[in-house]
Amino acid sequence: MNRYEPSQSRYGAMEYNRCGRSGLKLSVISLGLWHNFGGVDNFEHSRTLIRRAFDLGITHFDLANNYGPPPGSAEENFGKILKRDFASHRDELIISTKAGYLMWPGPYGEWGSRKYLIASLDQSLMRMGLEYVDLFYSHRPDPDTPLEETMGALDQIVRSGKALYVGISNYSAEQTRQAVHILKSLGTPCLIHQPKYNMFDRWIEDGLLHVLWEEGVGCIAFSPLAQGLLTDRYLKGIPKGSRASKPHGFLRPQHITEEKLAKVRQLNDLAKRREQSLAQMALAWILRHPTMTSVVIGASKVSQIDDAVGLLKNPGFAQEELQAIDTILAG
């Protein structure tokens, strides 16, 4: 592949939101490496996707220890891409990783103990060839580990210089409030929460968003397109190469119900009237919340990244449009 020269105009194409009450800004669109960057994927294509994202002003790349498949391979591939293409751009990037889900066998390979979180981050740094990540997450709450231990590990990780900021993912509103307070008492603020949020899954509207706003914590929505369902991807069946067609895809054909598709068709018509794609409307709808810092999308094609960034041309909603969306979703 050619030597990579990032686009000179990359910072003109994107917007950046302040993350809660921190000093850090994130691109409103971030790229996640859960799918399409693993050992099973074409490395040069993954590399093209990262290059394109950065050319469009996307500065935030989201990983986790277990992304692949096989687990760990997305971090390995990203490390190679960093070394080959981004060696002189490290300070322009916000790289996150996480630990919480099963990564290695035995009692120390998942959940939220200090033992697991610190060992996992050390492994992630090795795989990516980094000295530190910008952001490290507790990937899920652990019902059997005291929250003080998990948050204490995050505090220690920041103090040891292995992460600049820490965050939490998949914590409920109440767990979030407690976690934020413990971190605050330790002197390490919680930068951000990463919950699932999209038109089909609105749980964060019932408390979590309010807690984040009150506490000054940022929010980055994962699976903002419901893994591709909230686009035109599945309107004419399950295309070859789509996530739902892949054996390791987390979106299964049975999730694509006729009931969901009926809503997607109506949403697609509404998006057309707004002169944007359904993906753009679905992302803009998430970013309408003032607490929302960014959406972390997945992409298997360059055109999908281009499409997402195009939302910036029409990010606002009339009150009637928001009501129409609510009506479709409730139908």
Ligand X SMILES: NC(=O)c1ccc[n+]([C@@H]2O[C@H](COP(=O)([O-])OP(=O)(O)OC[C@H]3O[C@@H](n4cnc5c(N)ncnc54)[C@H](OP(=O)(O)O)[C@@H]3O)[C@@H](O)[C@H]2O)c1
β-pairing, 163-169 vs 190-194, is parallel
Measured from the CB atom, the residue of 125 and 279 that comes closer to ligand X is 279
- Residue 152 to residue 323: CA distance in whole angstroms: 43
Closest distance of CB 280 from ligand X, Å = 8
- Residue 268 to residue 274: CA distance in whole angstroms: 10
Measured from the CB atom, the residue of 180 and 192 that comes closer to ligand X is 192
Closest distance of CB 297 from ligand X, Å = 4
Measured from the CB atom, the residue of 79 and 228 that comes closer to ligand X is 228
Measured from the CB atom, the residue of 310 and 319 that comes closer to ligand X is 310
Q: In a 3-state reduction of DSSP, which class is residue 239? A: coil
Measured from the CB atom, the residue of 20 and 32 that comes closer to ligand X is 32
Closest distance of CB 323 from ligand X, Å = 24
Backbone angles phi and psi of 197, in degrees to 5: -155, 125
Measured from the CB atom, the residue of 52 and 139 that comes closer to ligand X is 139
Q: How far is CA 163 from the centre of its chain?
A: 17
Question: CA-based Rg of the chain, rounded to a whole angstrom?
Answer: 19
CB atoms near residue 74 (< 10 Å) = 29
- Residue 302 to residue 296: CA distance in whole angstroms: 15
β-pairing, 25-27 vs 16-18, is antiparallel
Sign of CA dihedral 286, 223, 144, 73: negative
Closest distance of CB 28 from ligand X, Å = 14
CA distances from 312 to 24, 153, 194, 303, 315 (A): 20, 38, 22, 15, 5
Measured from the CB atom, the residue of 95 and 308 that comes closer to ligand X is 308
Closest distance of CB 187 from ligand X, Å = 25
Asked if residues 192 and 20 have their Cβ atoms less than 8 Å apart, the reply is yes
**CB burial class (10 A; 0-12, 13-18, 19+) of residue 107?**
exposed
Measured from the CB atom, the residue of 31 and 187 that comes closer to ligand X is 31
Closest distance of CB 18 from ligand X, Å = 21
Closest distance of CB 70 from ligand X, Å = 16
Q: Which residue's entry shows tokens 């000093």?
A: 23
Q: In a 3-state reduction of DSSP, which class is residue 134? A: strand
Contact residues: ligand X, CB under 6 A: 32-35, 62, 139, 169-170, 194, 222-228, 231, 233, 242-243, 279, 296-300, 304, 307-308
Closest distance of CB 233 from ligand X, Å = 4
Q: In a 3-state reduction of DSSP, which class is residue 315? A: coil
Closest distance of CB 5 from ligand X, Å = 26
CA distances from 326 to 150, 157, 260, 272 (A): 37, 42, 14, 17
Measured from the CB atom, the residue of 135 and 182 that comes closer to ligand X is 135
